[in-house]
Amino acid sequence: MVTRYEMLERLVPHIGDALVLTNLKGTAHEWHHLHPEDSNLLYLGLGMPTPAALGLAMALPHRRVVSLDGDGSILLDMAAIPTVGQAKPRNLTVVIFDNESYESNGALPTVTSSGTDLTGVARACGIDKACTASSAEEFEAAVRTALTTDGPHFITAKVAKGTRKVPITMTYGKYNKYVFVKHIEKTEGIQILRSITATGKDYTPNKDYFSG
């Protein structure tokens, strides 16, 4: 069976200026290694990548947004799937890397190992452009279509268990979020971060503040 890393390699040439939100641990490590850009929001908690990506896609309807999620994560917040189906953001692509396990917690099986079909769930929830990819070639074809046509798109990528051993550059969470938001501000020409000090002056935290 193909690995998640091999599929992520196929995604890189097509990602363009899309904003990418990732699941925890292995997905984040591998994606950051392959595509270390300010357009990544990494290490989102279980159940969070797809809801956060949906909100971002709705806030920036002209910008491609990609959620790199996992089966265990999306199963924790299944309400995200019908919400995507109802909202139908044309610029959103949801990728579920389905290794049929909660790998980071000891590899206990998820319900996808016993027949739950996440692609079928997505279609039943109104996401017509939902598919399953079981090879690197199928995955690349699916993401190429997703990133060049209107969605929402939902791709269940069936992958083997395991994480590629890559150099891990730990990104401090608050700083990563700050850099991600500043990237959006710069590329969209808008202001998002703004706070008022006790003196009434604007204050934007700097890198040293977020690096602890």
Distance (Å, rounded) from C-alpha 182 to C-alpha 113? 40
Over 70: is that where the pLDDT of 209 sits? Answer: no
In this prediction, residue 212 carries a pLDDT of: 39
pLDDT, average across residues 32-58: 95
pLDDT, average across residues 110-123: 94
* Fold entry, domain 4-158: Rossmann fold (3.40.50)
> Greater confidence, 111 or 25?
111
84 and 154 Cβ atoms separated by less than 8 Å = yes
In this prediction, residue 93 carries a pLDDT of: 98
> Greater confidence, 108 or 56?
56
Over 70: is that where the pLDDT of 203 sits? Answer: no
The structural domains of the chain, with segments of one domain joined by +, span 4-158, 173-210
Helix, strand, coil tally for the chain in percent (to 5) = 45, 20, 40
Amino acid (one-letter) located at 138: E
72 and 64 Cβ atoms separated by less than 8 Å = no
Dig out the tokens for 140 from the structure: 């690349």
> Greater confidence, 30 or 173?
30
Over 80: is that where the pLDDT of 208 sits? Answer: no
In this prediction, residue 57 carries a pLDDT of: 98
In this prediction, residue 104 carries a pLDDT of: 72
Whose CA is closest to 159, among 13, 27, 21? Answer: 27
Confidence of residue 94 (pLDDT cuts 50, 70, 90): very high
Distance (Å, rounded) from C-alpha 107 to C-alpha 88? 33
Q: Which of 35-39, 103-107, 144-148 has the lowest mean pLDDT?
A: 103-107
Distance (Å, rounded) from C-alpha 82 to C-alpha 127? 8
Confidence of residue 137 (pLDDT cuts 50, 70, 90): very high
Output the average pLDDT for the chain. Answer: 90
Q: Which residue has the tokens 């090879």?
A: 135
Distance (Å, rounded) from C-alpha 154 to C-alpha 94? 5
Distance (Å, rounded) from C-alpha 194 to C-alpha 196? 7
Dig out the tokens for 66 from the structure: 């990609």
pLDDT, average across residues 122-132: 98
Dig out the tokens for 200 from the structure: 């009434």
DSSP secondary structure of 168-211 = -----HHHHHHHHHHHHHHHHT-----EE-TTS-EE---HHHHT
Give the Å distances, CA to CA, from 162 to 27, 53, 119, 139: 10, 25, 22, 18
